[in-house]
Amino acid sequence: MSTTLERAPGGAPETAAAGSGGALRRSADWARRAPLLPALVFTIIITQLPFVATLVISFMNWNAYYPDERGFAGIDNFRRVLTDVNTRHAIWVTIVLTAGVVLISLVLGLLMAWQVRSILRSRHPAVRAVEAIALSLPLFLLLFAGTYVVLSGSDPKAFTEPLSRVDSLYFVVTVFSTVGFGDIAPVAEGARVLVTVQMVGDLLLIGLVLRLFVTAVDRGRRRAAGQEGPPSLTPGG
């Protein structure tokens, strides 16, 4: 016995069902998104509203010491900032620091990933891990030493004395070994930020990276043992 469903001209029942299904899907989507709305509103309030207020103030003659002398300044503030020698120098130092930190992070991250991959695929993971440490540590120090040379060249007052290549390498090693003789020290804020990044990197290199290499050695040994397989049994063995 077969049942035939009659459909009204124009397919109204199917259209109504499809519309109802779409409404249900939209309701479900909003039900999933609704809990995120307070966080979105909070993020907008703490990020976008201060940005808009800062943008408005940048076009004003605004001095907190003289609240009665506020007025519209147009682009005079921007002209004054862009023509100031100290501002241009600060922008250049910021670019150098940002590029240096990003470059160091990128190179070290790629190097760590390549070293871990090599340890996992090596037939002798422990030996490969020692080679990785012997390569990673000098490269880590040389990258920071090079950045210190560039920073000292762009701002001779960034440290207590202008740094040569040998001075930068010496300073990097003293910071890494936590000796800190005190003969060379960062003075400018940018130099102190960069030295702080190196100190944090030292802790990560000593702790997390070495732990990562040890874990990779362990997994590499297990992988090598799994590929060798159990010893074959010979007749009479």
pLDDT in tens, 129-179: 777 777 778 888 888 888 888 888 888 888 988 888 898 989 999 888 877
State residue 71 phi and psi, 5-degree precision.
-170, 175
This prediction has a pTM of: 0.49
Residue 83 has a pLDDT of 83
Residue 56 has a pLDDT of 87
Pairing between strand 71-72 and 60-61? Answer: antiparallel
Residue 236 has a pLDDT of 46
- Tell me the two tokens of residue 36: 């995120």
- Residue ranges of the chain that CATH labels 1.10.287.70: 85-223
Residue 14 has a pLDDT of 54
Residue 191 has a pLDDT of 85
- Tell me the two tokens of residue 23: 């409404």
Residue 20 has a pLDDT of 66
Tell me the residue length of the chain: 237
Task: Answer for the pair 216, 120: CB distance below 8 angstroms, yes or no.
Answer: yes
3.20.20.70, 1.10.580.10, 1.10.287.70, 1.10.10.410: which CATH number matches 85-223? Answer: 1.10.287.70
- Tell me the two tokens of residue 197: 């990044």
3-state secondary structure the chain: CCCCCCCCCCCHHHHHHHHHHHHHHHHHHHHHHHHHHHHHHHHHHHHHHHHHHHHHHHCEECCCCCHHHCEECCCHHHHHHHCCHHHHHHHHHHHHHHHHHHHHHHHHHHHHHHHHHHHHHCCCHHHHHHHHHHHHHHHHHHHHHHHHHHHHHHCCCCECCCCCHHHHHHHHHHHHCCCCCCCCCECCHHHHHHHHHHHHHHHHHHHHHHHHHHHHHHHHHHHHHHHHCCCCCCCCC
**How far apart are alpha carbons 45 and 48 in whole angstroms?**
6
Residue type present at position 141: L
The residue ranges of the chain whose pLDDT is under 70 are: 1-22, 224, 226-237
**How far apart are alpha carbons 21 and 230 in whole angstroms?**
58
Residue 3 has a pLDDT of 47
Residue 1 has a pLDDT of 47
pLDDT in tens, 50-64: 888 888 888 888 777
